[in-house]
A and B are shown apart, each in its own frame.
Chain A
Amino acid sequence: GQNIDQPTEMTATEGAIVQINCTYQTSGFNGLFWYQQHAGEAPTFLSYNVLDGLEEKGRFSSFLSRSKGYSYLLLKELQMKDSASYLCALTNMVTGGGNKLTFGTGTQLKVEL
């Protein structure tokens, strides 16, 4: 099976940097995704890591260590619109036809002035 852990809530200040951690246990690891979800809306893709290291994409970066079962999402220059839930998700080539996403419960980020 798969198990994914993320903090439930975080609070940060506008303009600051925040790191959202995700730890996981899985077999048949294929890749790790981060999605952003505003309340009541659809999740939208942020980043994808399949190899160890850092992937940078504008204000957002994501890091993966497969040996440690650990990933983080780094958000820089926080804006009020970044207040949302951030979902860590794994894919596994063994189950679900290979495309199945198994999600963590999400980290609710609140950005304050």
Chain B
Amino acid sequence: EAQVTQNPRYLITVTGKKLTVTCSQNMNHEYMSWYRQDPGLGLRQIYYSMNVEVTDKGDVPEGYKVSRKEKRNFPLILESPSPNQTSLYFCASSFWGATEAFFGQGTRLTVV
């Protein structure tokens, strides 16, 4: 089954404790990205990757890191989480060009 898999689905952590949210896709998509979704603000892009070893900042990259060592995986790293990073996070992937994006199930992160 074609899918984007994120883990964990839910996470509560404390300020400053490094964490990684994993994302994996099995559709051989070149393009992957991370979004956060906050009430009243909609989905905003954090980082994106056009292919292996090619990543760039989206609209709200501060406090986040990513890597793309393999085509299928695109982890999101929070080196020192803060409460303002409490949000619902989605990973998405698609083929190159303006094509349909497939989203992961979401990760609800709470930083206390």
Contact = CB atoms under 8 A, between A and B. Distances in A.
Chains A and B form a bound pair: yes
Given A100-B58, A103-B42, 7 more contacts: A42-B104, A48-B98, A50-B98, A89-B43, A99-B97, A101-B33, A103-B35
A42 B43 CA distance: 11
B75 interface: no
B45 A96 contact: yes
Given A48-B100, A91-B98, A96-B58, A101 B105 contact: no
A58 interface: no
B42 A101 contact: no
7 contacts: A97-B48, A99-B31, A99-B99, A101-B33, A103-B44, A105-B41, A105-B42
Interface residues of A, number: 26
Contacts of A87: 42-43
Interface of A: 30-31, 33, 40-45, 48, 50, 87, 89, 91, 93, 96-106
Contacts of B102: 45
Given A96-B45, A104-B42, A31 B98 contact: yes
B98 A30 contact: yes
Nearest to A40: B106
Contact of A101 (B43, B88, B96, B104): B43
A30 B96 CA distance: 13
Given A96-B48, A97-B56, A42 B98 contact: no
